[in-house]
């Protein structure tokens, strides 16, 4: 026991020296100054980009690999379902733990969990492709390794958002959290294109790359991110808010439909490109990557140009976003060429890039200041629910008719628009979105 204690002390002393050696001058000493906060914010932004990179890289390459592994479309989609179901509950758990124990440990847990999940997925796929792993074990192991992201990867964003909130005044918080949220969006935009380039080193190279990047990011957070200020332990909490609350329920229903309709196309489009364009696996991966990148760039344009630069109301964002999303699915139902597929996904990114911030802002405005954390948690869980059912449902429908998932999404978007018109709370929204991402930008599963 004495030896272990001595080893622990020596290790902590060594790590302190390493942090002092590699941290930028003044980062720890001035962590609460504007310069210190700026450096910490930049570090968080760069490190959390790995999550966005990994999501869209995986969506781009999974269809091709699934075909080689003899997985059906619904099996490939269901790999994400268990992870999303776990995320609904684990994200709020990790957020509460970070209130008690500090933010940095849970940012580390999230990044390492995400990295382990990506490296585990790549390893299982590699063994399956090499014939080392029995076919009956491939799908269950893929589900389990992806679930590491749901269990542990969900710790990073709540802790990172709380880290920023601890160190910013209320007037600065919206901009700071919106910038942090953009790390995922920017990573998602870069991911497909970078994945298409990395595939030249092997079809699994993108997954190994992003898994390694997450581990490197965790090391950077461990060594360089200061946390001299402990979170407030006796913080006043708002009253418990139920999803059944009449003020909240319309936004829960809206979010469930929007999330489901948004999750199906991004997970089916890779198979759709392979089959409709009759491409090889490598060509399909690259074409899917470009199409998903176009969607992500359009979503970023909507969030950072249309939403933040123009004085748009929540009513306009929700109406325009839902109708644009409906149009994108109608285009995919037509027997398309590749250009039409890319254009449809671009419209999808634009539509959801408007609808999601509008939904987030509207739900925030529907409750009191003391209920902001509660409504953000509810809406974060709602956004993950779409990824529980959408992959299995979309894959199952695709097996009957490739265009069937897009027909379902078009019907859902049409029903959603009619619901917006019919519901008094949603149909009378007329508030400018000056702070669209304060409570709804980060908690994406």
pLDDT band at 1 (very low <50, low <70, confident <90, very high): very low
Q: For residues 345 and 291, is the Cβ–Cβ distance under 8 A?
A: yes
Query: Sorting pLDDT into bands at 50, 70 and 90, what band is 29?
Result: very low
Q: Which of 262, 259, 286, 256 is nearest to 273 (CA)?
A: 286
Distances from the Cα of 29 to the Cα of 22, 40, 106, 212, 237, angstroms: 14, 12, 22, 30, 31
Is residue 107 within 8 Å of 225, Cβ to Cβ?
yes
Of 85-89, 109-113, 121-125, 411-415, the one with minimum mean pLDDT is 85-89
Cα separation values, 195 from 56, 145, 216, 332, 359, Å? 9, 20, 18, 24, 31
Residue 151 CB coordination number (10 Å)? 19
Rounded CA-CA distance 416/420 in Å is: 6
Domain boundaries defined on the chain: 37-228, 238-440
pLDDT for 148: 93
CA-based nearest residue to 62, from 122, 7, 20:
122
Contact 121, 186 (CB under 8 A): no
Asked if 318 contacts 420 with a C-beta cutoff of 8 angstroms, the reply is yes
Q: Tell how many helices (H) and how many strands (E) occur in the chain.
A: 17, 0
DSSP 8-class letter at 306: I
Q: Contact, 393 vs 83, CB < 8 A?
A: no
Strand partners, 432: 313
Query: Is the pLDDT higher at 102 or at 218?
Result: 218
- Note whether 107 and 159 are within 8 A (CB): yes
Residue 124 CA to its chain's centroid (Å):
23
Residue 182, pLDDT > 80, answer no
pTM for this prediction: 0.68
Q: By 3-state DSSP, what share of the chain in percent is helix, strand and coil, each rounded to 5?
A: 80, 0, 20
Burial of 94 by CB count in 10 Å (0-12 exposed, 13-18 middle, 19+ buried)?
buried
3-class secondary-structure state, position 103: coil
Provide the b/e sequence for 157-196 (b: ≥16 CB within 10 Å): bbbbbbbbbbbbeeeebbebbbbbbbbbbbbbbbbbbbbb
| Separation of first and last alpha carbons in the chain | 41
**Pick from 123-127, 171-175, 191-195, 277-281: least confident:** 171-175
Q: Which residues of 365-392 are buried (b: 16+ CB within 10 A; e: fewer)?
A: ebbeeebbbbbbbbbbbbbbbbbbbbbb
The correct answer on CATH 1.10.1760.20 for the domain covering 37-228 is: no
Main-chain phi, psi angles of 432, to 5 degrees: -70, 135
SS3 79: coil
Question: What is the Cα–Cα distance from 153 to 114, expressed in whole angstroms?
Answer: 5
Average pLDDT over residues 334-346: 89
Question: Do the Cβ atoms of 386 and 260 come closer than 8 Å?
Answer: yes
Instruction: Pick left, alpha or beta for residue 70 (phi over 0 → left; psi -120 to 50 → alpha; otherwise beta).
Output: left
CA angle 304, 308, 310 (to 5 degrees): 120
Q: Is the pLDDT of residue 92 over 80?
A: no
DSSP 202: -
Residues near 383 by beta carbon (within 8 Å), at least 6 away in sequence:
255, 259, 443, 444, 445
Averaged pLDDT of the chain: 79
Two structure tokens written together for 333: 């139902």
Q: What is the C-alpha separation between 154 and 386, in angstroms, rounded?
A: 16
Query: C-alpha angle with apex 101: 97 to 106, nearest 5 degrees?
Result: 65
For the stretch 348-395, pLDDT in tens is 999 998 888 788 777 777 776 555 555 665 776 677 777 777 777 888
CATH superfamily, with its number, for domain 238-440: MFS general substrate transporter like domains (1.20.1250.20)
Residue 232 banded pLDDT, cuts 50, 70, 90: very low
Most confident residue range from 66-75, 163-172, 378-387, 427-436: 66-75
pLDDT per position as a tens digit, 403-423: 999 999 999 999 999 999 998
């Amino acid at each position: 026991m004495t030896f272990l204690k001595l080893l622990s002390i020596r290790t902590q002393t060594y790590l302190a020296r390493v942090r002092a050696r590699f941290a930028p001058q003044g980062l720890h000493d001035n962590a609460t100054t504007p310069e210190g906060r700026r450096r910490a914010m930049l570090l968080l932004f760069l490190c959390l980009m790995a999550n966005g990179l990994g999501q869209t890289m995986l969506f781009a390459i999974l269809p091709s690999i699934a075909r080689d592994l003899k997985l059906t479309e619904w099996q490939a989609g269901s790999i994400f379902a268990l992870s999303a179901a776990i995320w609904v509950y684990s994200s709020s758990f990790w957020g509460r733990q970070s209130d008690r124990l500090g933010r940095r440990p849970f940012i580390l847990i999230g990044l390492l969990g995400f990295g382990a999940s990506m490296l585990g997925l790549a390893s299982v796929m590699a063994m399956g492709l090499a014939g080392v792993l029995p076919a009956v074990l491939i799908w269950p192991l893929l589900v389990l390794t992806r679930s590491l992201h749901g269990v542990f990867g969900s710790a990073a964003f709540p802790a990172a958002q709380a880290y920023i909130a601890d160190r910013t005044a209320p007037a600065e918080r919206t901009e700071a959290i919106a910038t942090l949220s953009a790390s995922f969006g920017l990573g998602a935009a870069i991911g497909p294109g970078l994945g298409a380039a990395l595939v030249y080193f092997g079809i699994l190279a993108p997954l190994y790359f992003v898994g390694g990047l997450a581990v490197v990011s965790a090391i950077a957070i461990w060594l360089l991110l200061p946390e001299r200020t402990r979170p407030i332990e006796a913080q006043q909490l708002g009253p418990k808010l139920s999803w059944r609350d009449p003020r909240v329920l319309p936004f829960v229903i809206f979010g469930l439909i929007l999330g489901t309709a948004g999750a199906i196309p991004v997970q089916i489009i890779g198979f759709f490109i392979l089959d409709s364009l009759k491409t090889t696996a490598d060509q399909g991966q690259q074409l899917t990557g470009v199409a998903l990148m176009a969607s992500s760039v359009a979503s970023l344009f909507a969030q950072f140009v249309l939403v933040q630069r123009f004085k748009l109301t929540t009513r306009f964002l929700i109406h325009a976003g839902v109708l644009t999303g409906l149009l994108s699915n109608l285009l995919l139902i037509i027997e398309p060429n590749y250009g039409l597929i890319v254009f449809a996904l671009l419209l999808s990114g634009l539509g959801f890039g408007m609808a999601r911030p509008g939904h987030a802002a509207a739900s925030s405005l529907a409750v009191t200041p003391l209920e902001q954390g509660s409504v953000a948690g509810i809406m974060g869980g709602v956004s993950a629910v779409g990824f529980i059912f959408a992959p299995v449902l979309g894959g199952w429908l695709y097996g009957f008719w490739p265009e069937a998932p897009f027909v379902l999404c078009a019907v859902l978007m049409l029903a959603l628009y009619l619901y917006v018109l019919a519901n008094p709370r949603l149909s009378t929204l007329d508030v400018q979105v000056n702070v669209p991402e304060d409570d709804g930008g980060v908690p994406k599963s």
